[in-house]
Amino acid sequence: MAQRLALRQLLSLTPRTLPLQGQQVLPGPLAPRVPAVHHGRAFRTSAGCRSTFNVQDGSDFQDRVVNNPKPVVVDFHAQWCGPCKILGPRLEKVVAKQEGKVLMAKVDIDDHTDLAIEYEVSAVPTVLAMKNGDVVDKFVGIKDEDQLEAFLKKLIGA
């Protein structure tokens, strides 16, 4: 009962009346017995998050991949694909190490069948390397980190 009352009081607060950081939320006998402690956590995006994005539709692919001045690695994958679940994070990690020199677009073939057909994806995972809107390299299947780094260095021209 006390938990419901506390939750109701918390939910009734409007954004203007929310307490400042470090202030107690619940007044009176429902207040926690220990002082509020700030743990220094904040939500931030890592370099990996900024350089990797999910393609939303065909026009998004055109804008963010084909028309992009930076080289883009396109990961064609599917939710049900076991090897995709291994390759995806591995590829994201290697792309993040490039510190913005290359971007990564993720395309779910079940959601974007038209793109998969257009780029002749017949198996997943398929990874395309695109530069100035053109496919310059491609591989199908799983690769280890060293092979992925070599693939990206070839794309970047480093």
Ordered structural domains, the chain, with CATH: 52-156 (3.40.30.10)
What is the per-residue pLDDT for 2? 59
The catalytic position among 81, 87, 104, 115 is: 81
Asked if residues 138 and 79 have their Cβ atoms less than 8 Å apart, the reply is no
Active site residue 49: no
pLDDT band at residue 157 under the 50/70/90 scheme: confident
Residues in the chain: 158
Residues 52-77: tens digit of each pLDDT: 999 999 999 999 999 999 999 999 99
Q: What's residue 48's pLDDT? A: 43
Q: Is 84 a catalytic residue?
A: yes
Task: Give the model's pLDDT for residue 44.
Answer: 43
Phi, psi for residue 140 in degrees, rounded to 5: -125, 135
